[in-house]
Amino acid sequence: METITLEVGDAPRVRVRSVGSDLRIVGRSGGGLEAQSPSRGDLTVTREAEAVVVASRVGCLLFLPAGAVVEVGAVGGDARLSGMSGAASLETVGGDLNLRGMGAVRLGRVAGDVRLVQAGGPLSAEWIGGDAHVENLQAELEIGVVEGSLFLRHQRGAVRVKAHGDVHAELELPAGSRSRLQTSGDLICRLPPDASVSIEYRSGGDARVALPVQSRPTTTSGTATLGAGEANLELDSGGDLRLELMGGAASGLNEEWRQDLEARIEAEVEAALSDIDRSQRLPGIMRADIAERIRSSMARARRGAHRLGRAADAGRMHPVGVSVGNPAGGAAAEIGNEERLAILRMVESGTLTVEQAEQLFRAMDGSA
């Protein structure tokens, strides 16, 4: 393993030119940069003009000051950024992208899924090849195309997105904003009871509108106004459309419960992984490896839960017999086998403590 450290100040500009495999960037206090790579000679860290430039022919783990401005060129595998309050941009990611606790984020092309939890700045993306899951975004969201499905929760800024899969959105739109959700699939949109929104909707299938202003059966298109109509929202669905208020009997409490539980489980996993990141008994690249394996298990569990949730929503939209089998059980069955064995081996060799292992096992059991 190769490690390079450098003093860069509290808010440096860091350019990650290219990473051949997976990239992980973690923000922390202080003015130091620490870069880790599994093989000597594959990692370079140089100063060029006003920026620090990093490149690795293989995977790379970067610890940076939280206020750093990060520019990432090409990532061959998955990318994960957490705890970065400065602006971040990523041009191309060959796998999945996971973002947590971010400032402003700009994305180019991401081949896999994108997941963002908690960001204070706007998020923009040109193209996402998989699903997009965005939670607790406090600013605008703009995505050119999402090839898969889109899940928005606690979205507090304007939204402009085109998706080819299903869309499930919970929006809190600010006054004066203009938003548009367009999808080839089904669309479920929920708004707060005190929302002030003017809505125009179109549906290629059935449209079900459950708002206080709606007093007669809906057609496949129409308009509705909540409050003073201070925000504008356009909904365009190629499939079925459902528009309703949050917190009502029809607002999908099972889905909200599932998302809340998922957030709590993920927080526990992140706490356990943070302990491993800080551990000096385990080489850095091994810490990154076991962390990514556990996160892959979490991602598989989330996809299974989302498939189950969409099947349940489809059953509510189409009140006919829908057999979904046991997808939750299938997701649970594939979680954790290799990861558990790897963790036990690390405990046996003394690279992980029993307490760390138990914490990870509890988190993984909860994800099932």
Q: Beta strands 43-48 and 51-56: pairing type?
A: antiparallel
pLDDT at 278 (0 to 100): 52
- Could you read off the pLDDT of 300-338 as tens digits, one per residue? 555 555 555 555 444 444 433 233 333 334 444 344 556
- Helix, strand, coil % over all residues of the chain, rounded to 5: 25, 40, 35
Please give the Cα distance from 326 to 119 (Å, whole number): 34
pLDDT at 286 (0 to 100): 54
pLDDT at 152 (0 to 100): 97
> Which residues of the chain are modeled with pLDDT < 50?
215, 249-254, 256-257, 281, 312-335, 367-368
Amino acid at residue number 102 = M
Please give the Cα distance from 362 to 364 (Å, whole number): 6
Please give the angle made by the CA atoms of 32, 38 and 39, to the nearest 5 degrees. Answer: 110
Please give the angle made by the CA atoms of 232, 238 and 239, to the nearest 5 degrees. Answer: 110
Helix H or strand E encompassing 337: helix 337-349
Q: How far apart are the first and last CA of the chain?
A: 33
Answer for the pair 145, 166: CB distance below 8 angstroms, yes or no. no
Using alpha carbons, select from 59, 74, 64, 128 the residue that is nearest to residue 102.
Answer: 64
Please give the Cα distance from 40 to 262 (Å, whole number): 38
Q: Beta strands 123-128 and 105-110: pairing type?
A: parallel
Answer for the pair 8, 14: CB distance below 8 angstroms, yes or no. yes
Answer for the pair 115, 136: CB distance below 8 angstroms, yes or no. no
Please give the Cα distance from 321 to 324 (Å, whole number): 10
Answer for the pair 307, 330: CB distance below 8 angstroms, yes or no. no
Provide the token pair at 51.
């920026």
C-alpha torsion 296→106→268→301, nearest 10: -30
Using alpha carbons, select from 144, 152, 181 the residue that is nearest to residue 168.
Answer: 152
- Could you read off the pLDDT of 125-177 as tens digits, one per residue? 999 999 999 999 999 999 999 999 999 999 999 999 999 999 999 999 999 99
C-alpha pair distances (Å), 270 with each of 39, 142, 245: 26, 27, 32
pLDDT at 291 (0 to 100): 62
Amino acid at residue number 8 = V
Q: Is the pTM of this model over 0.75?
A: no
Provide the token pair at 313.
């929503």
Q: Give every CB contact of residue 205 below 8 A, 6+ residues apart in sequence.
A: 186, 220, 237, 238, 239, 240, 241
Provide the token pair at 91.
């041009």
Please give the Cα distance from 70 to 15 (Å, whole number): 6
Answer for the pair 187, 293: CB distance below 8 angstroms, yes or no. no
Using alpha carbons, select from 210, 221, 234 the residue that is nearest to residue 316.
Answer: 210
pLDDT at 219 (0 to 100): 74
The number of C-alpha atoms within 13 Å of 79 and in the hemisphere containing its C-beta is 29
